[in-house]
Amino acid sequence: MAEVSTDSVNLNTKNGNFICGVVEGFYGRPWTTEQRKDLFQKMKKWGMDSYVYAPKDDYKHRAYWRELYTVEEAEHLTGLIQAAKDQNITFYYALSPGLDITYSSVKEITTLKRKLEQVSQFGCVAFSLLFDDIEPEMSEADKEVFQSFAQAQVSVTNEIYQHLGQPKFLLCPTQYCSTRAVPNVTNSEYLNTLGSKLAQEINIMWTGQKVITRTLTKENIQEITDALRRPPVIWDNIHANDYDQKRVFLGPYSGRSPDLIPKLRGVLTNPNCEYGANFIAIHTLAQWSRCNVDGQRDLTLNDTVSADIKLETETEDGQIGEDVPVTLSPNMYHPRQALKNAIKEWLPEFSKHKSVWGPIAKPQPTVTVIPVPIIPSINTCMSLTSTTTTSSIANSTVSATQLQALAEVTVNDSMVNPLPGPVMNSLVSETKVVCNDSIPNPITPIPIPIPIPGTDNENKSITILSGTLIKPKTNGANEDDGNSQDSDVEVKTCHKLNGEDKALNGKEEITMSTDTGNDLSNESSLSPSEPMDCNFTPNISPAHAGKSTGESNDDVVMSETSASSGSMQIETNDTTMIIENSEKKKSELCAEDLSLLCDLFYLPFEHGGHGLQLLQEFNWLKSNANIVMAENQRTNKDTPEMQEWFSRAAKLGEIAEGVNRLVKHLTVCNNRELLYDLYPYVWDIRSVISLLNSYVKWLAGGHFPASMPSYTQGTYTWFSKGWKETFMSGDQEPWVFRGGLTADLQRLMPVDSGNDLFAYKIPDVPTCRVFTIRPYLASDEADVLNICTRTCKDGLEDQHPYPDALKDLHADRIVAPYITLHPEFCLVVEDDSGVVGYACGAPDYKKFRVKQELAWIPEMCQKYPKSLITNNISKFAQESISYFHEFKDEVFVSSPTHPASMICSLLPSVLDQSVSKRIVTCLLAALRANGYFGVHVTMNCTDSYTHAFYGKLGFVENSSETIKGKIIMGRNF
């Protein structure tokens, strides 16, 4: 076929034929019918014209592409197509048959035609076939008919295109970006075959140089245009976030000059999973698309991402300067100006009364952020890497060579499928996405009772994948070490397709569970979560599953780590949100709040101004902490250096307070749907920023040696040589830097091997209750003693009545020695009601024992004479009095690996699981600043509550230290 002139084709862009819109093409929970209709209205308002229905996990789009729609589904899909027409939006119905289609099979092509014909009857006039994220291999039957993989796809696509009457048509190729082109774009036989053989009227989608492209260049567009013999439609993943549970992208459309518009057939953004989080992404794309391509442009303006970076980072102290030119012509596009325009229109959305259906969390398993350089085995919007084995880096120094290795890392071409989750259906309800319980789903986790030998046939409920075969081990021996609760059960998984195994197919509606700590059997030995183990893509397909041997994965995906997208309705009866009208005005979101929000969750390769400021201020304060060492404060209290340190600490505190205000204002907004979309991210980063601020408050006391920097430098952070440059360059896909700003901030905390401490369970219901962690003050003594008394016995009070003389007995034994002898290593947590918890430590437990013996025990023996030991007091109280008098003879822990000791206690009213982790992390960082890297805790063997509490904090039992009647747990940091 003769090459078509790019210039002549793109004259159509001026006649309104430039495709601009949204592709719902991500993995995870699809959007609802109601959300899609809302999208169509917004798109019409903003001058956009196209929507592509391609939700990867809507089961009849991909996994069960052969199945026709039911009457109920057809009704909803017809309504969607009509709603798009009403707003003059072209509705492209996309199908992804590439997982298991046999291209040469007449039966398969007939099935494909029948499915698309059905949708055509619903009023659809535009279609798309997607061949992304599949193995680029043909079956033996196809090899006999087609010379190449590309020819097979071209043959099917052309036949379908002609059969449907040559409608508007989009194709997503298997090689959809430069890094996937083999061997490269220009010489790719696959791309050149598509270009020469595919009907010229069919538009081909392209993501750019990478899956997620930092900057779209004219050179790349020209290169792919030459190969495809037509300009591409950009499938833009710049705002996609399905590859990272801790990131959402609220920055403006950026890195694409409007000068590209005449060189493209169109742009479709594949944005965040959360519909409510996409206002900025779509609005700014719409602004970009409306730029006058004939206007005279000042090329020094912010056309490219590199200019954005310069504007954001040129002030090293984190100051945010004016980064939008004062005189900006209407036909110019500037990302920051576009963001301001979008925020102004987004703000009223938060006042709309909308309820919420579904869980807070994204529909993918919780994954602990692991320091780079680790390539996570996780898939993205158009997906990405092969399964990659990883391990957490503990107490290791990362060299410049390893950083370079990060920049050069490559992945092989095997695709991975989205993580096991429920079969989702977005076409049976206006307002919710349901898990269809009538479909035999080979990848749905369900609980099932299993008799465990040796336990009197008591059933133990574990969670397995639907279709799992369970058989007791015949040898009866536990090869591990006897500690595994499931040691006598061997679990194999297989894919059941015909629904015969009704006991395993789970007839109940699946609901959301994000609690990673409910299983008490495992609470004391929690370890950082490893990235999930992914199956190969075809396993999600029923046809491929049918061809499988029946046993594919030995690893069982547990429900505790799988955040299913259930169909439950979240009630929002949060009493803390009922406030007086006069107060409500103060609590309303403002543009300043949204600007901060967008800065904290900016773009895949770029942090916003406030984010950079947080990084820079905290790093400077930590690096220059020697200025405020205790001796310096005594002698040089008013030096300019001291004043600067405290001034910058106050600046960090102001940002932290701004984030607290943002959370408070967000939680009282009327739009609960929008709140639930954004809350997990805001809550998570608020926890990390609060932690950094707490540590700075501790640093301000100056209780550390001059050698502190050698203990707290950190191995691999935003400020490591080459890190920032590699992050912003776009040379790596953004999942290499998993966690975004949240992870970059937490990596600055001087706690190595502490990734588990940053894995928080998000509250089930959004709350604006703020917990502040700060250093202990002498005025806190009564509160701390009271909390200790109220939590001294398995987390609760000793209910036995105590005389006044003994009211502080347990507190004097447990916490008072710490706040008396080591107040500099004591922290408290408070909310609006006052102090609600504490954490105290002693850097050297041996020395601490000596101090107690000399300066504390004699006083306690006087205060609590043996004569108080009577039958009128509880046995627990008797033991405490005896403790003081027998202190010298007590066997205690003397561990070279865990020399420090600590205690931590929170009131039962503190339900936020992140609070204990934050206060303990801050204490561990304080101990580390003094050159201590291991800590232990001691408890009675019968104290299951304390055992579980510390287990959740990453402490493990220390088998080398044994004391009769006691359990010693320790952790390194």
Catalytically annotated residues: 133
Token duo for residue 810: 């347990």
Residue 288 structure tokens:
């970009």
Structure tokens belonging to residue 848? 């601490």
Count how many residues are written for the chain: 973
Helix boundaries (H) for 513-590: 542-547, 581-584
CA 122 distance to own-chain centroid? 37
In order of 137, 219, 365, 821, 945, the CA distances from 185 in angstroms are: 19, 12, 35, 69, 60
Question: Phi-psi bin for 953: left (phi > 0), alpha (psi -120 to 50), beta?
Answer: alpha
- Contact between 272 and 281 under an 8 Å Cβ cutoff? The reply is yes
Question: Taking a C-beta distance cutoff of 8 angstroms, is the pair 380, 237 a contact?
Answer: yes
Q: Which two tokens stand for residue 900?
A: 């420090």
Tokens of 327: 């005189």
Distance of CA 250 to the CA centre of its chain: 15
Q: Name the H helices within 762-844.
A: 781-790, 809-814, 816-821
Residue 477: φ, ψ to 5°: -95, 140
How far apart, in whole angstroms, are the C-alpha atoms of residue 566 and residue 835? 37
CA-closest candidate to residue 774, choices 829, 706, 727, 818:
829
User: Tell me, what amino acid is at 75?
Assistant: E
SS3 state at 570: coil
Task: Return the SS3 of 715.
Answer: coil
Region for residue 524 given its phi and psi (left: phi exceeds 0; alpha: psi -120 to 50; beta: otherwise): alpha
Under DSSP, is residue 742 helix (H, G, I), strand (E, B) or coil? helix
Strands 50-53 and 90-95: parallel
Three-state SS sequence of 216-230: CCHHHHHHHHHHHCC
Instruction: Say how many CA atoms lie within 13 Å of 442 toward its Cβ.
Output: 24
The rounded distance, in Å, linking the Cα atoms of 157 and 177 is 20
Contacts of 507 (CB under 8 A, 6+ apart): 437
For residue 766, give every residue at least 6 positions away whose Cβ sits within 8 Å of its Cβ, in sequence order, or none. 360, 572, 574, 666, 667, 675, 676, 679, 683
Cβ atoms of 764 and 360 closer than 8 Å = yes
Task: Check: CB of residue 689 under 8 Å from CB of residue 661.
Answer: no
Instruction: Report the C-alpha gap between 771 and 774 in whole angstroms.
Output: 10
Cβ-proximal residues to 127 (8 Å cutoff; 6+ apart), any chain = 92, 93, 94, 95, 116, 119, 120, 160, 164, 167, 168, 169, 170
Distance CA(297)–CA(288), nearest Å, equals 14
